Structure 1
């Protein structure tokens, strides 16, 4: 009986691995982290851009032209292919819309800790010269602020 309890606990812990998911170009954080934080105090935002050639989603800053950051959305975000949009928290966020939420801009190694290797590697493949990746905090309330 004791081995059954241990096996069940291992199964539960494995399912809480802290890995995000990939749905088309949408990269997400895990639903929660088993250990550690996973949040930062900065605002993350910009104009949503979908690059059809690279199949990457970016947040582009309004003030700085051509500076784009691949973006990792909160868990639950998904992709609508036609017409392109991110589905999140009951919203459709289409390219050209401006979004804002809590999070930060991080390098690959920290993203690996927050979202897992697969998501971090996919984001790094889209990253620009700075290597920075926009990361919405787990559970962040992302709002469309303009379109």
Structure 2
């Protein structure tokens, strides 16, 4: 299964009749034997990037390299420096922003700037029952303040 949007993902999880094995960029363990594989690659793409507000919205399946490249164009970077563990773990695949957030992957600057999840303003995900859960979000300015 490779859902292309949040609605399809929720339907796939809700309709599952057995174990699901989630596959992001393929940098971790192989699929669980006998489980249906749910790939997040169809949930890729940067949907919003506001360099001045230091704000980005990206799908879980977005390759980390794509996020880092978009930031670099504007002279920005991920302060928490997510490490590329493929060499250490002997794995292949392409790290995704969803995997970085799920694993709270952070590099050596974590002690100074905080971990990956400290930089999240909001998150939307589908839980094990197929329900879309939204937490946090962007703050919108208006004439009365924040």
What interval of TM-score do these two structures reach, taking the shorter chain for normalisation? under 0.3
Q: TM-score, normalised by structure 1?
A: 0.27
Structure with greater strand share of residues: 1
Higher relative contact order (CA 8 A, sep 6+): 1
